[in-house]
Structure 1
Amino acid sequence: MNDRPVSVYRRPVPDDLPLAGPDGDPAPVRARLADAEPRTLLMVLTHLTRDVSHLDRFAAVCDPANAESGAEREADEIRDLLADVLTTSAPRETGPLPSELFRRMASAYVHEPVDEEFVPLLLDQCGFAKLDGAPAAADRGPGGDGFHVVVVGAGLSGICAGVKLGEAGYSYRIYDRNKDVGGTWLTNVYPGVGVDTPSHFYSYSFEVNPDWPEFYSKGAYVLDYLRQCADGYGVREHIVFETEVVSCAYDDASRRWAVTSRGPDGTEEVEWADAVITAIGVFQGAVRPDIPGLDDFAGTVAHTAEWDPSLDLSGKRVAIVGTGASAMQVGPAIVDDVAGLAVFQRTPSWVMPRRKDDLTVPEGARWAMRHVPYYGEWFRFLTYWFASDGNFVRVVVDPDWHMPDVSVSKESEAMRQWLLAYAREELADRPDLLEKAIPDYPPFGKRILRDSNWYRMLKRDHVDLITDPIARVTADAVVTADGRETAADVLILATGYQVLPMLGQIDVTGRGGTPLADVWGHDNPRAHLGTTVPGFPNLFVLAGPNSAPNHGAGVNILAESQIHYVVGCLDLLREREARALEPRQDVHDAYNEQVDKALEGRVWSHPSVRSYYRNSTGRVVVSCPWRLVDYWTMLRSPDPAEYTLD
Structure 2
Amino acid sequence: MTASPRRTPVYRRPTPDDLPLAGAGLDSAAVRARLADADARTLLMSLTMLTRDAGHLERFAAVCDPANAETGAEAEADEIRDLLSVVLTDPAFVPDPAPMTVGLFQQMATAYVREPVDAEFVPLLLEQCGFDRLPGAPELPTPEKPQPPDGFHVAVIGAGLSGICAGIKLAEAGYSYRIYDRNKDVGGTWLTNVYPGVGVDTPSHFYSYSFEITSDWPEFYSKGAYVLDYLRRCADGHGLRDHTSFETEVLSCAYDEASTRWRITTRGPDGREATEWADAVVTAMGFFQGSVRPDIPGLADFAGPALHTADWDPDVDLSGKRVAMIGTGASAMQAGPAIVDEVAELAVFQRTPSWVMPRRKEDLTVPDGALWAMRHVPYYGEWFRFFTYWFASDGNFVRVVIDPDWTTPGSVSEPSEKMRQWLLDYAQEELADRPDLLARVIPAYPPFGKRILRDSNWYRMLRRDHVDLVTSPIERVVPGGVVTADGKETAADVLILATGYKVLPMLDGIEITGRSGVALTDVWGVDDPRAHLGLTVPGFPNLFVLGGPNSAPNHGAGVNITAETQVHYVLQCLALLHTHGARAIEPRQDVHDAYNDQVEKALEQRVWSHPSVRSYYQNSKGRVVVSNPWRLVDYWTMLRSPDPADHILG
Range of TM-score over shorter length: over 0.9
Distance 1:327 1:113, change over 3 A: same
Q: Paired residue for 1:74?
A: 76
Counting matched residue pairs gives: 645
Match of 1:106 among 88, 106, 109: 109
Q: What letter matches 1:99 in structure 2?
A: V
Tell me whether 1:48 sits opposite 2:50 in the alignment: yes
Question: In structure 1, the residue corresponding to 2:392 is in which secondary structure?
Answer: coil
Q: What letter matches 2:267 in structure 1?
A: R
Q: Could you tell me how far apart the structure 1 residues matched to 2:533 and 2:399 are?
A: 23
Distance 1:577 1:140, change over 3 A: closer
Per-residue Cα deviation, 1:59-93 (whole angstroms, up to 9, x for no partner):
01001111122401110100000000000022212
Distance 1:166 1:262, change over 3 A: same
Distance 1:138 1:589, change over 3 A: closer
What is the CA-CA distance between 1:218 and the residue it aligns to? 0.2
Q: Could you tell me how far apart the structure 2 residues matched to 1:57 and 1:618 are?
A: 53
Q: Paired residue for 2:94?
A: 91
Tell me whether 1:322 sits opposite 2:327 in the alignment: yes
Give the alignment of 1:540-579 within 5 angstroms. 540-579=544-583
Per-residue Cα deviation, 1:177-222 (whole angstroms, up to 9, x for no partner):
0000000000000000000000000000000101100000000000
Tell me whether 1:401 sits opposite 2:406 in the alignment: yes
Tell me whether 1:614 sits opposite 2:611 in the alignment: no
Q: Paired residue for 1:275?
A: 280
What is the CA-CA distance between 1:364 and the residue it aligns to? 1.1
Q: What letter matches 2:118 in structure 1?
A: D
Q: Could you tell me how far apart the structure 2 residues matched to 1:251 and 1:66 are?
A: 64
What is the CA-CA distance between 1:509 and the residue it aligns to? 0.2
- The answer on whether the counterparts of 2:146 and 2:575 sit within 8 Å (CA) in structure 1 is no
Distance 1:135 1:390, change over 3 A: closer
Match of 2:388 among 383, 391, 404: 383
Q: Paired residue for 1:640?
A: 644
Q: Paired residue for 1:466?
A: 470
- The answer on whether the counterparts of 1:21 and 1:87 sit within 8 Å (CA) in structure 2 is no
Tell me whether 1:457 sits opposite 2:458 in the alignment: no
Per-residue Cα deviation, 1:365-394 (whole angstroms, up to 9, x for no partner):
111111111111011101111101110000
- The answer on whether the counterparts of 2:145 and 2:572 sit within 8 Å (CA) in structure 1 is no
- The answer on whether the counterparts of 1:138 and 1:169 sit within 8 Å (CA) in structure 2 is no
Question: In structure 2, the residue corresponding to 1:146 is in which secondary structure?
Answer: coil
- The answer on whether the counterparts of 1:322 and 1:343 sit within 8 Å (CA) in structure 2 is yes
Question: In structure 1, the residue corresponding to 2:417 is in which secondary structure?
Answer: helix
- The answer on whether the counterparts of 1:174 and 1:238 sit within 8 Å (CA) in structure 2 is yes
Q: Paired residue for 1:239?
A: 244
Off by >6 Å, runs of 4+ in structure 1? 21-24, 135-139
What is the CA-CA distance between 1:499 and the residue it aligns to? 0.5
Q: What letter matches 2:282 in structure 1?
A: I
Per-residue Cα deviation, 1:528-560 (whole angstroms, up to 9, x for no partner):
000000000000000000000000122100000
Q: Could you tell me how far apart the structure 2 residues matched to 1:385 and 1:87 are?
A: 31
Match of 2:590 among 586, 589, 600: 586
Q: What letter matches 1:494 in structure 2?
A: A
What is the CA-CA distance between 1:2 and the residue it aligns to? 2.1
Match of 1:601 among 591, 605, 616: 605
What is the CA-CA distance between 1:4 and the residue it aligns to? 5.6
Match of 2:484 among 480, 485, 492: 480
Give the alignment of 1:490-509 within 5 angstroms. 490-509=494-513
Per-residue Cα deviation, 1:95-123 (whole angstroms, up to 9, x for no partner):
43211111100000011110110000000
What is the CA-CA distance between 1:125 and the residue it aligns to? 0.3
Q: Paired residue for 1:117?
A: 120
Distance 1:11 1:299, change over 3 A: same
Give the alignment of 1:245-324 within 5 angstroms. 245-324=250-329
What is the CA-CA distance between 1:5 and the residue it aligns to? 2.6
Distance 1:363 1:266, change over 3 A: same
Distance 1:295 1:570, change over 3 A: same
Question: In structure 2, the residue corresponding to 1:121 is in which secondary structure?
Answer: helix
Question: In structure 1, the residue corresponding to 2:204 is in which secondary structure?
Answer: coil
Q: Could you tell me how far apart the structure 2 residues matched to 1:22 and 1:462 are?
A: 53
Q: What letter matches 2:585 in structure 1?
A: L
Q: Paired residue for 1:628?
A: 632
Unaligned runs of 5+ in 2: none
Q: Could you tell me how far apart the structure 2 residues matched to 1:174 and 1:604 are?
A: 34
- The answer on whether the counterparts of 2:374 and 2:380 sit within 8 Å (CA) in structure 1 is yes
Tell me whether 1:192 sits opposite 2:197 in the alignment: yes
- The answer on whether the counterparts of 1:20 and 1:26 sit within 8 Å (CA) in structure 2 is no
What is the CA-CA distance between 1:24 and the residue it aligns to? 7.6
Q: Could you tell me how far apart the structure 1 residues matched to 2:26 and 2:626 are?
A: 55
Per-residue Cα deviation, 1:114-158 (whole angstroms, up to 9, x for no partner):
011000000010000122385898995743422100000000000
- The answer on whether the counterparts of 2:180 and 2:249 sit within 8 Å (CA) in structure 1 is yes
- The answer on whether the counterparts of 1:138 and 1:168 sit within 8 Å (CA) in structure 2 is no
Per-residue Cα deviation, 1:280-334 (whole angstroms, up to 9, x for no partner):
0010010000000000000110000000122211000001000000000000000
Match of 1:165 among 147, 160, 170: 170
Please tell me the root mean square deviation across aligned C-alpha atoms, in Å. Answer: 1.5
- The answer on whether the counterparts of 1:350 and 1:439 sit within 8 Å (CA) in structure 2 is yes
Per-residue Cα deviation, 1:607-638 (whole angstroms, up to 9, x for no partner):
11110000011000000000110000000011
Q: Could you tell me how far apart the structure 1 residues matched to 2:620 and 2:46 are?
A: 50
Match of 2:219 among 201, 214, 231: 214
- The answer on whether the counterparts of 1:130 and 1:136 sit within 8 Å (CA) in structure 2 is no
Q: What letter matches 2:288 in structure 1?
A: F
Q: Percent identity between the aligned chains?
A: 76
Q: Could you tell me how far apart the structure 2 residues matched to 1:267 and 1:138 are?
A: 42
- The answer on whether the counterparts of 2:374 and 2:381 sit within 8 Å (CA) in structure 1 is yes
- Which segment drifts farther, 137-146 or 590-599? 137-146
Q: What letter matches 1:54 in structure 2?
A: H
Q: Paired residue for 1:410?
A: 414
- The answer on whether the counterparts of 2:261 and 2:277 sit within 8 Å (CA) in structure 1 is yes
- The answer on whether the counterparts of 1:154 and 1:176 sit within 8 Å (CA) in structure 2 is yes
Match of 1:510 among 508, 514, 536: 514
Distance 1:542 1:586, change over 3 A: same
Q: Could you tell me how far apart the structure 1 residues matched to 2:642 and 2:332 are?
A: 40
Distance 1:135 1:602, change over 3 A: closer
Question: In structure 2, the residue corresponding to 1:331 is in which secondary structure?
Answer: helix
Per-residue Cα deviation, 1:385-413 (whole angstroms, up to 9, x for no partner):
1101110000000000021x311000100
Q: Could you tell me how far apart the structure 2 residues matched to 1:136 and 1:199 are?
A: 29
- The answer on whether the counterparts of 2:146 and 2:579 sit within 8 Å (CA) in structure 1 is no
- The answer on whether the counterparts of 1:199 and 1:216 sit within 8 Å (CA) in structure 2 is yes
- The answer on whether the counterparts of 2:617 and 2:627 sit within 8 Å (CA) in structure 1 is yes
Q: Could you tell me how far apart the structure 2 residues matched to 1:236 and 1:24 are?
A: 39
Q: What letter matches 1:398 in structure 2?
A: D
Q: Could you tell me how far apart the structure 2 residues matched to 1:636 and 1:5 are?
A: 23
Q: Paired residue for 1:362?
A: 367
Question: In structure 2, the residue corresponding to 1:200 is in which secondary structure?
Answer: helix
- The answer on whether the counterparts of 2:63 and 2:77 sit within 8 Å (CA) in structure 1 is yes
Q: Could you tell me how far apart the structure 1 residues matched to 2:396 and 2:41 are?
A: 21
- Which segment drifts farther, 521-530 or 405-414? 405-414
Q: What letter matches 1:641 in structure 2?
A: A
Tell me whether 1:347 sits opposite 2:349 in the alignment: no
- The answer on whether the counterparts of 2:558 and 2:632 sit within 8 Å (CA) in structure 1 is no
Q: What letter matches 2:134 in structure 1?
A: L
Q: What letter matches 2:126 in structure 1?
A: L
Question: In structure 1, the residue corresponding to 2:406 is in which secondary structure?
Answer: coil
